[in-house]
Structure 1
């Protein structure tokens, strides 16, 4: 089994060895930085000297009025959205003048138009006209790999590795890997990397790359052997131990490996981060939380640790701590914006936490911070803000706010309809909610989420046949929608009809989502209807342990009541009544059983 954590620290640890690609043109990606950057090489010529030398190699082109006209027309036409004519003109001019700058411009035009064949033709000419140009060579390599012309690329890579000094060769190895990761023919690229590294297989960098390469193609034994060899060569290397952790299938062994390394090298921050992530992947949240807290104590402004601690606090049902960590996360991004981090999701979580403790105004304030530059989060935040307005008693204001939302995509328009119906339903205006969803189902008949909401509202308003028809339509449109199978199965069980069919539907839903507490609740309820009280209790207890929902508590209470455990049932119902005294399931159950609470 592959480890759940991803070693994202490679680029940081190997910053001196592998430079990230620069901003790339469309299709063919700009080259990785020139290979073989030798730190020990003698100082080369200055930038001015290099520029002067490059200028001296350029042909002496006479810029005639005809040539000037062709070039200007090509640029203007290209700017206006056409590529083929400008490309052909630029390439012809390059051939005529033997000027590599024109070949480069032709390549840029073809790249921008995502034309791989024309791009390669221009780059080949560029290399021919400027055989000493490192930039042309790097572009050629990148495009050769992308087009799976690995035979041509192999010769260049092999020469680069062969000519590199021993200290620079490790740099080149990682850069070769970067190139080959772009290949579409992954098996061929993997075999080529092994072949290129074979002459240097005893080098530390080669061991690391051979381990990662074997792991990527599913050769676990080779991956482990190579990673162990890398660790043996450099026992203090974080990249080596992280690679070994990555390729080790046994998660418990990974924890031991990383903890042993941390004991020997306590300042190994990347290993400590990986260790914490492994604990999270194993759902050992208390230990993971402690590991991240230790990291945060040393680095109070570590945004990643703050985010991880917020998520784990939610997992541990510690809402106050989650709110604290996420608030610090947002404060940190306000002071030091980080384009790599998205505050929108955290703002939505903070709003939800405030809503759960009944502070609707605070919940709305968090959502106001979600910017329009985050389109997905922004739209969801506006929907949530409308719901919060309704929760404060202003249903009409919420509906008006939803009506003002600018939803252009059909999926967003359908979400607005669903939210309008939810607001109306929560206000007790069930027929109005049904009417909104009925209209939405006509407008968006191929939207399974809206159709699902429509089905549930049909049931709530007594339209049972329509509910079943709609849920079966959802199943047809989205066969993996476990909610639809669960909803229909639960409805049959609740009405105590077609129980074998209800059981089959819920079993299918559970196979798709075995850890969903609401499906467990449905399974418990259908088992209760079938008379299997022990099985019913087991499913409902598991569901309630995962989620302390009022409906689940009511169902579990009824099962216990009929098993003769009336005191336990009454205790559950009292807890449920304290949480939500207006819950329909609770009220109907208490009215039917008359437990005398």
Structure 2
């Protein structure tokens, strides 16, 4: 469909598959989120009062039973604590840290060691924080939070030997029924270590007593992948598969550790031939097919998944996106409509319907139902996609003839920040340009440039309008400014170079500008088109044809077809030229370049 590339992209197709829950394949993260990212912790920044400190340190009966010391808050301790908190507030981290740490050692209160760690974290002092955590765990050896922090800090250190006995003990203490889950958790923790090879050695040591279970080999396989040891990962996956051939996780891991994508697909396909109901493996195969852009085959796999679970939101969404990608618009509307209906009846905070609504709007627009397209856009809730939906809604209003309503819709928006304000200005100028109101569009851009004089997008848009109205001096001034502000903006070089070449002006300079654009974006089909066109203007027909054919192969655009047709016409290949012009007319009957070319050459395609 014509507008599909705006939404139906590979990343969107992948996101359609990415919300699948794979409990067996994806073990849980560490229990303490703080432990996963110790440098994100934040210390209390308010100055503690004496009453607050008394409440903190005067342990209640239950706290005493939990192993905390029962402290008599002497004037000396109180003074030191207040001094430490004031120092922390003033940014004097070292004084605050050493005071809290010394008090922790003196009183044997783990809460003071924890506070010292928090102060070190705020100052981003890793070594000092690790020292405080070690003391914290010494004072509170049963504290899960202290253990989690210690393990996380050890992952950031160069020596992992201290982690091994802790992890071994945790595996010994946990019930056998939960051990596999903890193994995966440990593997994920070690995967965050700086030294991946050392982390894998620790994993081997920790798991040594449990090698008789296939799950242990799967954990080792994933650990080997994290350490970059593909061959070892494959050996472990094979061992797990041999011990438990029916395991979905074994099949998934085997595919994961197989570098060749074709061979990995065969692993999954072979498993499905034996276990056709294996949902997670089929989902993995479907996703792999999407990655390889084999959309028809991926769609077949998702259809099988939907047959077993007709109300599965992930599958419905994936099928909707894939159907749109393969130009089956009716199926796309059916699947996405069902997805949105189910999502409305059972809201899920993890799922944002915005992309589905935007795609439904494009599908409605494709079948010329502007009212339906606007209706879908109106259902997009505030969020990342909201402004874009409102801008598109205004464009559709204008397209349906309601230019006043379109501008009113834009005027009612309250864009936040420069980026959003510029998007609204661009949308309004484009609406006016499409309506043929070039002077009004120029006025909108002029006002925007006064507010944002160095915005390259506004300067470029005004340059393109100036080119359309033959204001070449203004066009060149703006494009030169864009080049100064953004030296790697290939579009500015290309636009100026093409404008000169199209008018047969300053051809050597035009060639240099377009060559610069080509160096910045060698596979851009429109820049290749410009490069071919300037070669044509300079009489280099062979080079022109080669470049234009290459551009048309990458993107069979109407304007590229027109240029290629003219080159072939001049070379005497008039029948081939006519074919390209007919193709351009089929794609865009109102194309100005096509009309002007045919009139100038006095040709009827």
Same fold per superposition (TM over 0.5): yes
Q: Secondary structure at the match of 1:405?
A: coil
8 Å contact from structure 1 (residues 25, 111) kept in 2: no
8 Å contact from structure 1 (residues 387, 419) kept in 2: yes
Which of the numbers 5, 9, 23 marks the counterpart of 1:12? 23
User: Are residues 505 and 194 of structure 1, via their aligned partners in 2, closer, same or farther at CA, if it must alter by over 3 Å?
Assistant: farther
Hey, what does 2:436 align to over in structure 1? Answer: 428
Between the aligned partners of 1:445 and 1:199, the Cα distance in structure 2 is 69
Between the aligned partners of 1:514 and 1:295, the Cα distance in structure 2 is 41
Which of the numbers 356, 360, 367 marks the counterpart of 2:377? 367
For residues 175-186 of structure 1, the aligned pairs below 5 Å read: 175-184=185-194
Between the aligned partners of 1:511 and 1:255, the Cα distance in structure 2 is 37
Which of the numbers 396, 403, 424 marks the counterpart of 1:388? 396
Between the aligned partners of 1:252 and 1:480, the Cα distance in structure 2 is 38
1:280 aligns with 2:290: yes
1:404-442 per-position Cα deviation (integer Å, ceiling 9, x unaligned): 432232222222222222122222232333343344345
Which of the numbers 348, 352, 357 marks the counterpart of 2:362? 352
User: Are residues 461 and 311 of structure 1, via their aligned partners in 2, closer, same or farther at CA, if it must alter by over 3 Å?
Assistant: same
User: Are residues 122 and 190 of structure 1, via their aligned partners in 2, closer, same or farther at CA, if it must alter by over 3 Å?
Assistant: same
Q: CA deviation at 1:256?
A: 1.7
8 Å contact from structure 1 (residues 27, 116) kept in 2: no
Hey, what does 2:417 align to over in structure 1? Answer: 409
Moved more, 203-212 or 271-280: 203-212
User: Are residues 260 and 87 of structure 1, via their aligned partners in 2, closer, same or farther at CA, if it must alter by over 3 Å?
Assistant: same
Hey, what does 1:40 align to over in structure 2? Answer: none
Which of the numbers 133, 143, 167 marks the counterpart of 1:157? 167
Q: CA deviation at 1:529?
A: 4.0
Between the aligned partners of 2:209 and 2:148, the Cα distance in structure 1 is 23
User: Are residues 511 and 366 of structure 1, via their aligned partners in 2, closer, same or farther at CA, if it must alter by over 3 Å?
Assistant: farther
Hey, what does 1:45 align to over in structure 2? Answer: none
Which of the numbers 217, 231, 238 marks the counterpart of 1:228? 238
User: Are residues 595 and 581 of structure 1, via their aligned partners in 2, closer, same or farther at CA, if it must alter by over 3 Å?
Assistant: same
8 Å contact from structure 2 (residues 289, 297) kept in 1: yes
1:173 aligns with 2:183: yes
Which of the numbers 272, 284, 288 marks the counterpart of 1:262? 272
Between the aligned partners of 2:490 and 2:234, the Cα distance in structure 1 is 39
User: Are residues 159 and 507 of structure 1, via their aligned partners in 2, closer, same or farther at CA, if it must alter by over 3 Å?
Assistant: farther
Between the aligned partners of 1:209 and 1:503, the Cα distance in structure 2 is 58
Between the aligned partners of 2:513 and 2:200, the Cα distance in structure 1 is 45
Structure 1: gaps (5+ residues) = 32-50
1:174-211 per-position Cα deviation (integer Å, ceiling 9, x unaligned): 22222223345556545654565577667634433443
Which of the numbers 448, 462, 466 marks the counterpart of 1:440? 448
1:148-184 per-position Cα deviation (integer Å, ceiling 9, x unaligned): 6634334423544577787765444322222223345
User: Are residues 316 and 147 of structure 1, via their aligned partners in 2, closer, same or farther at CA, if it must alter by over 3 Å?
Assistant: same
Moved more, 5-14 or 521-530: 5-14
Moved more, 82-91 or 337-346: 82-91
Structure 2: gaps (5+ residues) = 1-12, 42-60
8 Å contact from structure 2 (residues 64, 70) kept in 1: no
User: Are residues 193 and 8 of structure 1, via their aligned partners in 2, closer, same or farther at CA, if it must alter by over 3 Å?
Assistant: farther
Between the aligned partners of 2:139 and 2:439, the Cα distance in structure 1 is 76
Between the aligned partners of 2:201 and 2:208, the Cα distance in structure 1 is 11
Question: How many correspondences in the alignment?
Answer: 571
1:75-106 per-position Cα deviation (integer Å, ceiling 9, x unaligned): 9999x999979989987876665444565566
Hey, what does 2:348 align to over in structure 1? Answer: 338
Between the aligned partners of 1:73 and 1:381, the Cα distance in structure 2 is 55
Q: Secondary structure at the match of 1:393?
A: coil
User: Are residues 125 and 22 of structure 1, via their aligned partners in 2, closer, same or farther at CA, if it must alter by over 3 Å?
Assistant: closer
Hey, what does 2:302 align to over in structure 1? Answer: 292
Q: CA deviation at 1:266?
A: 0.8
Between the aligned partners of 2:551 and 2:324, the Cα distance in structure 1 is 18
Moved more, 349-358 or 6-15: 6-15
1:95-150 per-position Cα deviation (integer Å, ceiling 9, x unaligned): 66544456556656776887756654554443233222233222322233245663
Q: CA deviation at 1:348?
A: 2.4
- TM-score w.r.t. the length of structure 1 is 0.78
Hey, what does 2:7 align to over in structure 1? Answer: none
1:416-473 per-position Cα deviation (integer Å, ceiling 9, x unaligned): 2222221222222323333433443454355443343233233223243554454455
User: Are residues 470 and 201 of structure 1, via their aligned partners in 2, closer, same or farther at CA, if it must alter by over 3 Å?
Assistant: farther
Hey, what does 2:502 align to over in structure 1? Answer: 494
Between the aligned partners of 1:70 and 1:333, the Cα distance in structure 2 is 57
Between the aligned partners of 1:317 and 1:356, the Cα distance in structure 2 is 11
Q: CA deviation at 1:260?
A: 0.8
For residues 298-313 of structure 1, the aligned pairs below 5 Å read: 298-313=308-323
8 Å contact from structure 1 (residues 309, 325) kept in 2: yes
Hey, what does 1:59 align to over in structure 2? Answer: 69
Q: CA deviation at 1:237?
A: 2.3
Between the aligned partners of 2:431 and 2:497, the Cα distance in structure 1 is 26
Between the aligned partners of 1:167 and 1:410, the Cα distance in structure 2 is 56
Between the aligned partners of 2:142 and 2:332, the Cα distance in structure 1 is 58
Between the aligned partners of 2:516 and 2:221, the Cα distance in structure 1 is 40
| C-alpha RMSD of the superposition | 4.5
8 Å contact from structure 2 (residues 218, 253) kept in 1: yes
User: Are residues 472 and 286 of structure 1, via their aligned partners in 2, closer, same or farther at CA, if it must alter by over 3 Å?
Assistant: farther
Which of the numbers 457, 460, 463 marks the counterpart of 1:455? 463
Which of the numbers 592, 597, 601 marks the counterpart of 1:593? 601
Q: Which has the higher contact order (CA 8 A, sep 6+)?
A: 2
Q: Secondary structure at the match of 1:182?
A: coil
